[in-house]
Amino acid sequence: MNKNSTSPISDDTIDEYPEINQNDLNRAIRRRSFVEVSKKQNITIALDSDIINWFKEKSGEKEYQSLINAALRDVIMRNP
């Protein structure tokens, strides 16, 4: 245990987690296997600055790459 811990330690502490009942189990999601999530690949691409600015205006500074990805995926889905 870390000497700097602020958590009290006692055998008399009450369990913080509520008891699980049948209603909780009925709402639980049962999974048989994990589905692999598609992994993104980092690339370097040169785009016109007006295109980048448009995507940044539409989505914000941090999410513009996701918006570009979605736009490219949309083009692929419409042109199989």
Q: Which two tokens stand for residue 73?
A: 């995926």
pTM equals 0.50
What torsion do the CA atoms of 69, 71, 77, 78 make, to the nearest 10 degrees? -160
Q: Kindly state the DSSP code that residue 13 receives in the 8-state scheme.
A: P
Distance in angstroms (rounded) separating the CA atoms of residues 27 and 30: 9
Per-residue pLDDT of the chain (80 residues; tens, 9 = 90+): 455 556 555 555 566 778 888 888 888 877 777 776 678 888 999 999 999 999 999 987 778 999 999 999 999 999 98
Q: What angle do CA 78, 59, 46 make, to 5 degrees?
A: 70
The reported pLDDT for the residue numbered 68 is 94
